[in-house]
Amino acid sequence: MTSVGLGPDDVRTRTFAFPARHFISVTDLTIPEVHRLLDLAEAFVAVNRQPNKKLDLLKGRTLMNLFFEASTRTQSSFELAGKRLGADVVNMSPRASSITKGETLIDTAVTLNAMRPDLLVVRHGSSGAASLLAQKVGCSVVNAGDGQHEHPTQALLDALSIKGAFGKVEGLVVAICGDVMHSRVARSNVLLLTGLGAHVRLVGPPTLVPQDAARWGVEIHHDMKRGIAGADVVMMLRLQMERMQGALVPSTREYFRFFGLDREKLAAAAPGVRVMHPGPMNRGVEIDSDVADDLRVSLIQNQVEMGVAVRMAVLAGLAARLDEQA
């Protein structure tokens, strides 16, 4: 990690105002801005490794976590990020069963808006929900995952992990493997990593990779060994159980045999390959524990650490914009 020697002062000098009020998609930032954001996040990594992690960039601000879909790691990551920056953090998890889409989402937004939060972090099961919410509230909205569309802070933390391990993203071969079809993580990563100059490959059975993804500037592979041959980074995606019992994939064992990451398949990758997973993992389905727990290749724990830092950087950037507008 290049964070050695960085501290709170670096955070202050590196903080910059976001170009827009909301952060819905990785395309809301230009590539130079992404680089600035990653530099800022590195400073936060250093701060987070100190005993005193508390800063005051968001002092007096209210951060609301609005998670329509259950999430442990993303929600606590945003909560920690907000608290370490000095914000007041409120977690709300409206029960999915009591919420129907469309009008009620807007009703919720209007109600929350009346409580005058400054930052609203939202996760919702429908693609486009974060964008819809952003049109109805006066605060900044951060997309923490909308349906099968985007999860931009995940892509940023993945880029930060890759940068930490390789010193760069440009020129690396990144294989994103598994259920691309239903993955917002994959979509955000394709946009961000190709933008940063990586060669991205999508690997999975044809039932889990959209036919039209070939037009995203990526390579598509249906044979895992070929797909990860020479890859510097292998990013595994989570496959939900209900998709594995014959609908899109015949069975767990067939999936693991052909698309699960084990030592044998990983041997086809480049020397020094690093393995990533957005979590939570299905061990023995998309990834073998043997690989997931090998700290020489696995960046999975590192991803979680980078997640807090990247979210601090995003919140700081949005808050800086709010300060400018004030």
Partner 1 sequence: MRPTAFIGARLIDPESGYDGPGAVLAADGVIAEVARGTSLGDMAADIEVVDCQGRILCPGLVDIRVKTGEPGAETKETLKSACLAAAAGGVTSIVVQPDTDPAADDPATIDFILRRARDIGLVHVHAAGAATQRLGGERMAEIGLMHEAGALYITDVDRVIADSKVMRRVLSYAKGFGALVAHRPADPYLSAGAAATEGELAARMGLPSVPAIAERIMLERDLALVELTGAPLLVDQLTCASSLESFARAKARGLPVTATASINHLCFNEHDIGDYRTFAKVDPPLRSEADRQALAEAVAAGLVEIITSAHAPAPAEDKRLPFDEAAPGAVGLQTFLPALIELHLSGEIAFIDLLRAATVAPARLLGLPAGRLAKGAPADLLLFDLGAPYLLDADTLLSKSKNTPFDGRRLQGQVLLTMAGGRVVFRA
Per-position x/- string for 177-206, each x denoting binding to partner 1 as judged by CB under 8 A, each - no binding: ----------------------------xx
| Contact set for partner 1, span 202-261 (CB under 8 A) | 205-207, 211, 222-223, 245-251, 253-254, 257-258
Bridge partner list, 283: 287
**CA pair distance 107, 274, nearest whole angstrom:** 44
Q: State which of positions 284-323 bind partner 1 (CB under 8 A).
A: none
Bridge partners for 200 per DSSP: 174
Q: Least distance in Å: CB of 223 to partner 1?
A: 8
Residue closer to partner 1, measured from CB, 123 or 182: 182
Query: Is the Cβ of residue 166 or residue 258 nearer to partner 1 in the bound state?
Result: 258
Strand 233-236 relative to strand 219-221: parallel, antiparallel, unpaired? unpaired
To the nearest whole angstrom, how small is the minimum distance from the Cβ of residue 286 to partner 1?
Answer: 15
β-strand partners of 177: 203, 236
CB neighbour burial string for 170-199, b if at least 16 within 10 angstroms, e if fewer: eebbbbbbbbbbbbbbbbbbbbbbebbebb
CB of 22 to partner 1, least distance (A): 36
CB nearer to partner 1: give 49 or 222: 222
Omega cis (within 30) before 280: yes
Query: Smallest gap, in angstroms, from Cβ of residue 252 to partner 1?
Result: 10
Cβ partners under 8 Å of residue 108, min gap 6: 66, 94, 99
Q: Which is nearer to partner 1, 2 or 251 (CB)?
A: 251
- Residues within the interface to partner 1 (CB under 8 A): 205-207, 211, 222-223, 245-251, 253-254, 257-258
